Structure 1
C-alpha cells in the first residue's frame, strides 16, 4: 500500500492566536509598540492581513492577545497555606515584574487589560486572595492590587537609561545627552541633582532597581496591614 503524502499546511493553518500574538510581541520588543500594525505583522508572518483577522478581529483585539502572551509568562508557585501571606505576595509580584521587564515596550498595555485574559484573572485572584489573608477588606484589597499593578508598570517603564527599539549606540548617546544636561546645572542651586546625574540617567543595575522598588511597595503594604 502506497503511503499517503501529507499536503503541507497552508500559512493560515499554521497560524494560531498564540503564534500571531507572539509575533506581535516580538515586534514590539524589537522596535516599540508603534511598530506593531496588522499590515507589518502579516508581512512578517508571510500571510495576507485578512488571515490575521481569523484570530483577531481588529488591532485592539490583537493588543489583548499581546497582553495575554505577557501574562502567560508569569510563573506562579503553588499556593501555600502555611507560608506568610506577605512573602507569597512578594513572590507573585516579583514574578509579574519579571514578565513585564522582559517586554518593556508593551508593559503599559497591561494597565487596562489585565482582567481580559485567563492568565490575568488567575494572577489577580491570587493577589486578592493573599491581600485578604493579610487582613485587608475587599475594597482595600482591590485598591492595593490596582496600586501595585500601576506601581510595577511604572517601575518597568521608568527604568533609567531604557530605550526600547534603539540600538545600543543610540541608547548610550541619549544617556550621555541627558547626563550632560544635568551636569550643566548650577551646582550651588542643584547640588544633589548634579551629584546624582549618573544614576538619574542610567540604571547601573536593573536587578537592584527592581528590588529597591519592590521593597518600597511591600513596605507600604505591610505598614498598612500592621495599622489594621
Structure 2
C-alpha cells in the first residue's frame, strides 16, 4: 500500500489508469482509489474536486504520451500521416480511455501542441485556416473512434472467450445464403474482425489522410 505521505496526483492517476484499463472508466471511484492508497476518500479531494476532474487528468495523461514527430522536408501529407499515427499510437495503449482526450486537446498543453502542428500542416497543404480547423477536428474525432471501436479490443478480455465470440459471429455470417450474399459470406472473417490489428490501424489512418487529400482536391 502507498502511505498518505507519498500520495500525490500522479500516483492517483496511475492507479485510476490501471483500473480503467482493466474494467473501464465507469469502474473508477474515489472509494476504490482511496482503498488502494490506504487513505480516506476525502484525501483524494485535495487533488481532484470530483470524478470528472480525475477523468480529465486521465485524458491529459494520454495526450502527454504522444511523441510528436519532428518537422521534416517530406510533403505535408506524409508529415500529417506521421503526426496522426503518433496520436493513435498513444491512444492504443489505453483504448477504453481514448475518448477522454477529445475535450482535452484544446486544453492540455500536449493537445494544443498536436492541434497547432496539425493545423500548420493542413494550411501548408492548401486549406484555409477555418477549413483546416474543421478538417482537423473531424479527423481527430474519426481517429478516436477508430481506437474505441477496435473490434479486437471490444471483444472479451479473455482470449478464449474472445475467440469463441468471434467464431459465433463468423458462423452467423457464414450461414447466410452465398447465392444472395456472395461477398459477405466470402469475407465473413474479415468483416467480423480485421485479420491484423496493425492492418486495422494502418488502413484507418490511411483512409483519414486519403480523405483529407480528397477534400482538398
TM-score relative to the length of structure 1: 0.87
Q: Does the Cα contact within 8 Å between 2:59 and 2:104 map onto a contact in 1?
A: yes
Partner Cα separation in structure 2 for residue 161 and residue 147 of structure 1? 24
Looking at structure 1, the residues matched to 113 and 38 of structure 2 have their Cα atoms a distance apart, in angstroms, of: 34
Q: Is the 8 A contact 1:27 1:35 kept in 2?
A: yes
State yes or no: 1:94 paired with 2:85: yes
Task: Identify if the C-alpha distance between structure 1 residues 201 and 164 changes in structure 2 by more than 3 Å, giving closer, same or farther.
Answer: closer
One of 97, 114, 122 as aligned partner of 1:131:
122
Runs of 4 or more, structure 1, over 6 Å off, are: none
- The alignment status of 1:72 with 2:64, answered yes or no, reads yes
Instruction: Identify the structure with the greater helix proportion.
Output: 2
Once structures 1 and 2 are overlaid, which stretch shifts more, 187-196 or 209-218?
Answer: 187-196
Match of 1:208 in 2: 199
SS, match of residue 151 in structure 2 = coil
Q: In the aligned structure 1, how far is the partner of 2:43 from the partner of 2:156?
A: 27
Note the C-alpha offset of 1:78: 2.6
Which protein, 1 or 2, shows the higher relative CO under an 8 Å CA cutoff with sep ≥ 6?
A: 1
Deviates more, 1:131-140 or 1:164-173: 164-173
Change (3 A) 1:44 1:165: farther
Distance 2:115 2:5 in 1: 33
Q: Which residue of 2 aligns with 1:5?
A: none
Unaligned residue ranges in structure 1 (runs of 5+): 1-9
Deviations 1:23-70 (A, max 9, x none): 211211112222222222222232221121111110001110110111
Of 133-142 and 37-46, deviating more is: 37-46
Q: Distance in 1 between matches of 2:126 and 2:190?
A: 38
Q: Considering only aligned residues, what root-mean-square deviation do their CA atoms show, in Å?
A: 1.8
Question: Equivalent residues in 2 for 1:1-228 (5 A)?
Answer: 11-80=3-72, 82-163=73-154, 166-225=157-216, 227=217
* TM-fit CA distance, 1:109: 1.8
Structure of larger gyration radius: 1
The alpha carbon displacement at 1:165 in A equals 6.4
Q: Deviations over 1:60-119 (max 9, x none)?
A: 011101101111110012334x43222211111000011111111111222233223111
Question: Structure 1 pair 200/160, CA: closer, same or farther in 2 (3 Å)?
Answer: farther
Answer whether contact 1:128 1:145 (CA < 8 A) is retained: yes
String of CA shifts for 1:158-206, please: whole Å, max 9, x gaps: 2223236622222222212222222222222222222221112222211
Pairs aligned (count): 216
| Compared CA separation, residues 13 and 92, structure 1 to 2 (3 A) | farther
Measure the CA separation in 2 of the matches of 1:39 and 1:148. Answer: 37
